[in-house]
Amino acid sequence: MDERLEAEGEVAVARLAIDSGDLEHAAAHLGNALTVAPQLPDAYEALAELAVAAGGNAAALGLFDMDEPYIGTVACIAQLHAAAGRWDSALPALASVIGADPERPWAEVAWLADPALPGLVPPDAVTQAVAVLVRTLPEPLPPQLREGVGPFYALVRACVTAHPGHSLLHTMASTLARRFGDMAEAVEWAEDACRLEPGHWQAVVLGGALRAAGRPDEALAVWEAEIARDPSDVDLYVDVAELHRHGGRPAEGLAWLDRGLAVEPEHPKALPASFALRHAVDGGTAQLLALSDHLRAHPEHGYAAALLAELCEDEPWLGHVHPAFEASVNVLHRMLANPKTARDHEIELLGSALEAPSTRLAVRMGFPNSKIDYQSVAAPDPRVPQYEVVTPLWRFDGPQGLDARPALDPPSAESAELVRDVTALAWPAPVAAYDHAVRLSGLDPEDLLALCVHPPLPRRDEQGAYLLGRQPEMWVRAVQTFACLGIAHHRADEPWMDSRRRALLLDLLFGPEDWTNEAAGFALLATAWADPEAREDVGVRLVDRMMAVGKAWRERDATSLASLCRLVLACPWLDETFLDLAEKMLSAAKEFDARSPEGDEERRSGITAELEARQSRESAPAARGSKPRSLLGRLFGRTR
């Protein structure tokens, strides 16, 4: 139903209730009407009629349920307060509505646009209202929110002009100006506030305005001077420390945090910030894990969650699916980027050496009418599992066993749809990915295993269209990742070492070289981050797999090596020997990749590509050279 028609229906019912004397019923319907259509003039006219029937605005206020007020109810209350000239109540109520749903036109009410209003409304009421509003508004405001908040901001600007001597009004107006990107006015108003009435809050806001305006050194000077004057505000120590961190001086920031923690050792922002600063100083992942553990113990600490997400965001596996580097994936990208190709074209890929079987899934997702063949198997044979596998995902058919096909039947449609709905390419941190996958805990593990080799198509949304048209391999890897995370939740009450979920994930980790090794490795890692009792075991298994692939990499291409190294590096509880080795192996793999000329991916990969699109046929040159064998030294095996 059209929103306006729905709101008009609510108003019509409200007027019938007013006529019958059922005023509480009428109030409920008017609240519903404004919830649906905040701009509807009839709703405000009917609200005025309700006030007359109730005997005045004050009496009408008592008709609305304030125990659990809905957003439309609060909008009605703001309107009634405004009609009575009670600006100290009207403005904060309206501000709370705008802040709760800033995309909608709550501020487009007639009384807010009255040119006489800035001279009528007390500056304290405006100050309080802005304080309510900025509590929930993001900084900066995205463009789609500025229109909805704009009328309120216009009133605030006019009130600042009308009350040039009110320090706190200038202070709060500065915080709103920052959100609109008006940095010059934000600084000017904050400086005016400090000049009119120097105080703690004025100094805090001035520093914030200077920081937002790109003047960090001036911000630090203001804040550090304020801490010297009043050392009790630990939040300000955190602001100073974070400014030092973003300025590339984390050690200096740590010194400020230590002072703040001496004031309040369990401060909900200072303690998480100390992990972030130490991470900036030390590198590695130990402090990220400590921050994750802190968040697990204190899920109410939103600042810790925000910091962890920020620090993990750009890190493969910590914040998103690790990319794939197979040669056929490189060719796939080139084909998808060619505007002359289409999904229904017949594609033939001929590789010099067998690749991870999952690359076939990605290529066929991008080009369903594709054929992929390989000329040989490089030694050591990537089809041979590192240890005996109970449930193989792949079978290798053909005369030389070069045709990899799923060894499992497709999963149920219900399981496929749920995994498609849950799958994500990025997450705030490993434990967040683990928690997100809990919705898959009820699925049959056999279906989750089958989904690793029968991934559904991406969702029918903008991101899904992009993945299908540009990077289908990332979707395949994400599905495999969340299928494995679903397995990690199977019978979660079983002790880890004897659990079926562990056995299934180790089967995948140590199976034939494939993307599913990496997906299972991340599921093990996420489990270990969530469950400290699993850490020692998981670390050993990941090192074991990394070592085996590292040995193979000395002889041939092993595209999962960098991914496995990053998984090991995300296990900071391991001995430094293994962490150092993982770092060296990762650097060696990246160094080798960097030697090949940019833009010549097909020559480097040894893949030939044939595109049969009626008229065109393309092929790629020969294979890339052999790897130097002296980059890895301390490799050894370990049994399960």
Instruction: Please report, for the chain, the start and end positions of each structural domain, with discontinuous segments joined by +.
Output: 3-222, 231-312, 327-612
Structure tokens at 106: 């709550």
For the segment 292-335, what is each residue's pLDDT rounded down to a tens digit?
999 999 999 999 999 999 999 999 999 999 999 999 999 999 99
CATH T-level topology, domain 3-222:
1.25.40
Structure tokens at 128: 């309080």
pTM here?
A: 0.85
For the segment 539-554, what is each residue's pLDDT rounded down to a tens digit?
999 999 999 999 999 9
Kindly state the DSSP code that residue 429 receives in the 8-state scheme: S
Q: What is the pLDDT of residue 638?
A: 27
Q: Within its chain, how far is the Cα of 55 from the centroid?
A: 52
Q: What is the pLDDT of residue 65?
A: 81
- Whether 102 has a pLDDT exceeding 70, the answer reads yes
The Cα-based distances of 345 to 22, 342, 362 in angstroms read: 68, 6, 15
For the segment 71-97, what is each residue's pLDDT rounded down to a tens digit?
999 999 999 999 999 999 999 999 999
**Which residues, at least 6 apart from 311, have a Cβ–Cβ distance to it below 8 Å?**
276, 279, 288, 291
Q: What is the mean pLDDT of residues 426-451?
A: 98
- Whether 101 has a pLDDT exceeding 60, the answer reads yes
- Whether 489 has a pLDDT exceeding 80, the answer reads yes
- Whether 620 has a pLDDT exceeding 70, the answer reads no
Which range has the worst mean pLDDT, 188-197, 426-435, 529-538, 622-631? Answer: 622-631
Q: What is the mean pLDDT of residues 11-34?
A: 96
Q: What is the mean pLDDT of residues 413-439?
A: 98
Q: What is the pLDDT of residue 488?
A: 98
- Whether 634 has a pLDDT exceeding 50, the answer reads no
For the segment 263-297, what is each residue's pLDDT rounded down to a tens digit?
999 999 999 999 999 999 999 999 999 999 999 99
Q: What is the pLDDT of residue 136?
A: 93
Within 39-86, residue ranges assigned H as helices are 41-54, 57-61, 71-83
Q: pLDDT band at residue 344, thresholds of 50, 70 and 90?
A: confident
* Phi, psi torsion values for 404, nearest 5 degrees: -80, 125
CA atoms within a 13 Å half-sphere pointing along the CA-CB vector of 260: 26
For the segment 177-224, what is each residue's pLDDT rounded down to a tens digit?
999 999 999 999 999 999 999 999 999 999 999 999 999 999 999 999
Kindly state the DSSP code that residue 597 receives in the 8-state scheme: P
The mean predicted confidence, pLDDT, of the chain is 91
Structure tokens at 506: 């180790």
Rg of the Cα trace of the chain?
31
- Whether 600 has a pLDDT exceeding 80, the answer reads no
